[in-house]
Chains A and B, each alone.
Chain A
Amino acid sequence: MQSRMAKRLQKDLEQMQKSYADQFNVRMPNNDIKHWIVAFEGAKGTLYQGEKFELQFKFSNEYPIESPEVIFIGKPPEHEHIYSNGFICLSILFDEWSAALTVSSVCLSIQSMLSSATKKMKPPNDAEFVKRAAGRGPKSFLWSYHDEKC
C-alpha cells in the first residue's frame, strides 16, 4: 500500500499539472517524489514581471502533516522576506502550516507575496542571517515574522 505521503504528493502533482500548468512548471531532478523543483515567472504588472525563479520543495515522510521545506534555488527574488540564501520568511511554511495546504497553495502564497511588494529590498538582517544559517536548513530556525502578512 502506498503511504499517505506518496498518495498525497500524487494528488498535489495532478493539481499542479491540471490547474496551474500555465503558471508553474514542476520537475523532479532525481526522479524522487520527495524532491521537487517548481519554476515560475514573476507575474505581469508586478515588480518581478518576467523574472524567472525556482523553488525547491523537500517533503518528509510525514507530509502533509509536517510542512515541506521550501527554499528558492538559483538567484532568489529581491524581497523583504526572502534571504539571499533562498530562505523564505513565510509563516505558513513553519508555525502556521496546515495539513490542508497543498503545493499549489504554497506556490500561490509565495507568488502573491512577491506580487504585493511595493519595492525591491533585502531583509534588514540579511547579511547576518545568511552567515548564521550556513549549513542549516530553514526549519531549524525559530522564525519571527517581520509583519503579519508574511
Chain B
Amino acid sequence: MGDDQYNYEDDYDSMQIEKQYSLQGVEILDIKDVIQEIRKDILELQEQLYFDEDNTFELLMHYNWDKEEITQKYFTNSEALLADLRMKGIVNNHDKIIFNGLKGCCSVCFVEGNLIELGCTHKFCESCIEQTIKQRVYQDKFLIVRCLQNGCNYRLPFSMIKRYSNDQEFENLLCRRFVDCSRYLAYCTGVDCNKILKPQYSSVKEVTCVCQNKFCFYCKEDLHPPCPCDLVKKWLAEIKKDEANVRWIVVNTKSCPFCKKPVERSEGCNYMMCKPPGGCGKAFCYICSQPWEPDHKDHFKCNKYVAPTANIEKEKEVLQRYNFYYERFLNSQAAKEKAMQRLKQIKEQYLTSIFKHYQFTYQDSQFLEEVMKELIQSRVVLKWSYCIGYYISKTNQQSAKLFDHYQEIFEHACETLAISLIKLFDEIEKLDHTQSDKPIHEQKKDFIEKKERIQNASQKCCKMRQNLEVAIYQGEIYM
C-alpha cells in the first residue's frame, strides 16, 4: 500500500485517540521555539560529523533537514558525499574568508576601498555583499546566497547571511523552511496567525490552534470529516479547474472553423453564424463545420451528418452528475455558515430572550448551544459526504448503495433538527416583538415540549452522523 493511499482503520483509530487528546494533544509553538529546535538539530549534527556550524547548516538545508538521510549517507561513504557536495558548492572552506586588511576596487560597484575575500577568493566590498544578502533574503525570500561573481558556485556562509540580514526576517524564513520540511510541524492555517502546531502523536489529525482555527493536520485544509484527505484534494482540484464550465462549452457549443472561438447554437437550424463583435462574422454548417459560403448553403443536404455521439451524451451526463454533487456541497457549506451565525445569536441574544420571555435560566437553555454545535458538525460531515458521493458512485455500486442509504437518513435527521430549531428561534423572535396572549405556564409548557423535540432530533442526528462516519472509517463503505 502506497503512502498516499488512505487507511480507514488508522483513521478510525486516530478519531478515537483524537477524542481524548484534541485539546491537550497539540503543542503550540512560536517562531522562537522552532528556532530553538533548529539550533538543537544543527548542534547535534555538528557533533556527529565534526562539521562547523556554517557547513552543517548548508548540509541540512540541502537535505531538507532530514538528519537521518545525511548521517546515513555520510557513514556509508563520507568521501563520495563530501566530493559531491564540494562540487555543488555546498561544503566550503569558510576559514579562508578574509575580512580585514584587503584594499582594492570592488568588481560590483567599482569603488576603491576595503574588500572582503570570500572562501572562493573573489573579493567584494562589504556594502555590496550586504546589499546582495538583503536583496536575496528580503526580496527573493531565499536563504542561500551565492558568490556575487558570475558563474561562481560558492555559497556565502550562514553566519554571514545572518549577520547582514535583519534577524527577524531571517528567522521567519528559516522557520518557514524548517516547518515546511518537517512532518511533525505545521503553521496554523488561520488568518494572521503565526503559531506553529506540533501534535504529540502522529495519529492526531484534527487540530485546533489557540486562535480557535481548526484544520486537518494531514492535508492542511479545513476539517473534512468523514472524507479522506486524498479525496478532498481531488475534489478541491476539480472545483478549482471549473471543469463544469469547460464541459458545458464542449457540449453546448461548436468551435468556429474560421476563428476557433466557441459558438453557441441558440436555435435548431444548421446555419451557424460566428457573430461579431465577439466572433469573426463568417457562417458555417453546424453539422459538418464546413463553410456555408459558397458551396454549402443548404440546410438538408449535409451528407456528413453525425448524430450527437455517445460521447457527447456521456459528457453531458458527467457534467450533470458533477453539478448535482457540487451544488449540494455548496448548499451544505452555506447551511453550516448559517448555523454558525445562529450559534453566535444564541450566545448574544436568544439566551437573554429565553430568560425574559419564559423565565428559564441559563442552565435550562444551555442545551441550545450544544445542539447548535451538533448541527454545525453535521453540516460539515454532510458537506463532505457529497464529495464521497461523487466519487463512490463511479467506482463501487455495492458501497454506493449503502452509502446512499446512510447519507439519506442522516440528511433527513439533520434537516429535521434544523427545522425544529428554526421553529423555536422564530417563536423567540416573535416574542421579542409582540406580547403573547398565552398565560406564562402554557408558554413554559410549549418551550419544554420544543426543547424535548429538539434534543431528540439532535440525538438522532448525532447517531445517524456517527453511523455514516463509522461505516466509512471501518471500511463498510469503501471506494
Interface residues of A (CB under 8 A from B): 4, 7-8, 11, 62, 64-66, 92, 96, 98-101, 105
Residue B109 lies at the interface, judged by CB distance under 8 Å to chain A: yes
Contacts of B148 in A (CB 8 A): 98-100
Residue pair B135, A66 in contact (C-beta under 8 Å): yes
Question: Measured between alpha carbons, how far is A99 from B152 in the docked complex, in Å?
Answer: 12
Contacts of B127 in A (CB 8 A): 4
Q: Which residues of B (101-119) have their CB < 8 Å from a CB of A? A: 107-111
B149: contacting residue among A7, A62, A98, CB under 8 A? A98
B108: contacting residue among A8, A92, A96, A105, CB under 8 A? A8
Residue pair B110, A98 in contact (C-beta under 8 Å): no
Residue pair B108, A99 in contact (C-beta under 8 Å): yes
Given the known A-B contacts A11-B110, A64-B109, A100-B108, are A4 and B151 also in contact in the complex, defined by CB atoms under 8 Å? no
Given the known A-B contacts A4-B109, A99-B108, are A65 and B150 also in contact in the complex, defined by CB atoms under 8 Å? no
Chain B binding surface SS class: loop
Interface residues of B (CB under 8 A from A): 107-111, 124, 127-128, 131-132, 135, 139, 148-152
Chain A binding surface SS class: loop
Contacts of B150 in A (CB 8 A): 92, 96, 98, 100-101, 105
A17 → chain B closest CB, angstroms: 15
Residue pair B128, A4 in contact (C-beta under 8 Å): yes
Question: Measured between alpha carbons, how far is A96 from B153 in the docked complex, in Å?
Answer: 11
Contacts of B110 in A (CB 8 A): 7-8, 11
Name which residue of chain B comes closest to A11, CB basis.
Answer: B110
Name which residue of chain B comes closest to A92, CB basis.
Answer: B150
Most buried by B among A11, A66, A99, A105: A99
Given the known A-B contacts A98-B148, A98-B150, A99-B128, are A65 and B111 also in contact in the complex, defined by CB atoms under 8 Å? no
Given the known A-B contacts A98-B148, A98-B150, are A62 and B135 also in contact in the complex, defined by CB atoms under 8 Å? yes
Residue pair A4, B149 in contact (C-beta under 8 Å): no
24 residue pairs bridging A and B, Cβ less than 8 Å apart: A4-B109, A4-B127, A4-B131, A7-B109, A7-B110, A7-B111, A8-B109, A8-B110, A62-B131, A62-B139, A65-B128, A65-B131, A66-B135, A92-B150, A96-B151, A98-B148, A98-B149, A98-B150, A98-B151, A99-B128, A100-B107, A100-B150, A101-B150, A105-B150
Question: Measured between alpha carbons, how far is A8 from B135 in the docked complex, in Å?
Answer: 17
Question: Measured between alpha carbons, how far is A99 from B139 in the docked complex, in Å?
Answer: 15
Contacts of A100 in B (CB 8 A): 107-108, 148-150
Name which residue of chain B comes closest to A15, CB basis.
Answer: B110
Contacts of B152 in A (CB 8 A): 98
Question: Measured between alpha carbons, how far is A11 from B128 in the docked complex, in Å?
Answer: 15
Contacts of A11 in B (CB 8 A): 109-110
Extra contacts, 10 of them, besides A11-B110, A64-B108, A99-B148 (Cβ < 8 A), are A7-B109, A11-B109, A62-B135, A65-B135, A98-B150, A98-B152, A99-B124, A99-B128, A99-B132, A100-B150
Name which residue of chain A comes closest to B152, CB basis.
Answer: A98
Contacts of B109 in A (CB 8 A): 4, 7-8, 11, 64
Contacts of B108 in A (CB 8 A): 8, 64-65, 99-100
Question: Measured between alpha carbons, how far is A11 from B150 in the docked complex, in Å?
Answer: 18
A19 → chain B closest CB, angstroms: 14
Residue pair A65, B149 in contact (C-beta under 8 Å): no
Contacts of B124 in A (CB 8 A): 99
Question: Measured between alpha carbons, how far is A64 from B151 in the docked complex, in Å?
Answer: 16
A8 → chain B closest CB, angstroms: 5
Question: Measured between alpha carbons, how far is A11 from B106 in the docked complex, in Å?
Answer: 12
Question: Measured between alpha carbons, how far is A89 from B458 in the docked complex, in Å?
Answer: 64
Question: Measured between alpha carbons, how far is A150 from B148 in the docked complex, in Å?
Answer: 20
Question: Measured between alpha carbons, how far is A100 from B128 in the docked complex, in Å?
Answer: 10
Name which residue of chain A comes closest to B134, CB basis.
Answer: A65
Question: Measured between alpha carbons, how far is A39 from B127 in the docked complex, in Å?
Answer: 33
B166 → chain A closest CB, angstroms: 16
Question: Measured between alpha carbons, how far is A38 from B249 in the docked complex, in Å?
Answer: 48
Question: Measured between alpha carbons, how far is A105 from B150 in the docked complex, in Å?
Answer: 10
Contacts of B139 in A (CB 8 A): 62, 66
A13 → chain B closest CB, angstroms: 11
Question: Measured between alpha carbons, how far is A99 from B135 in the docked complex, in Å?
Answer: 11
Contacts of A62 in B (CB 8 A): 131, 135, 139
Name which residue of chain B comes closest to A8, CB basis.
Answer: B109
Contacts of A66 in B (CB 8 A): 135, 139
Contacts of B151 in A (CB 8 A): 96, 98
Question: Measured between alpha carbons, how far is A16 from B135 in the docked complex, in Å?
Answer: 27
A149 → chain B closest CB, angstroms: 13
Question: Measured between alpha carbons, how far is A142 from B398 in the docked complex, in Å?
Answer: 48
Name which residue of chain A comes closest to B125, CB basis.
Answer: A4
Question: Measured between alpha carbons, how far is A100 from B118 in the docked complex, in Å?
Answer: 14
Question: Measured between alpha carbons, how far is A149 from B152 in the docked complex, in Å?
Answer: 16
A96 → chain B closest CB, angstroms: 8
Contacts of A65 in B (CB 8 A): 108, 128, 131-132, 135
B213 → chain A closest CB, angstroms: 32
Contacts of B107 in A (CB 8 A): 100
Name which residue of chain A comes closest to B151, CB basis.
Answer: A98
A105 → chain B closest CB, angstroms: 8
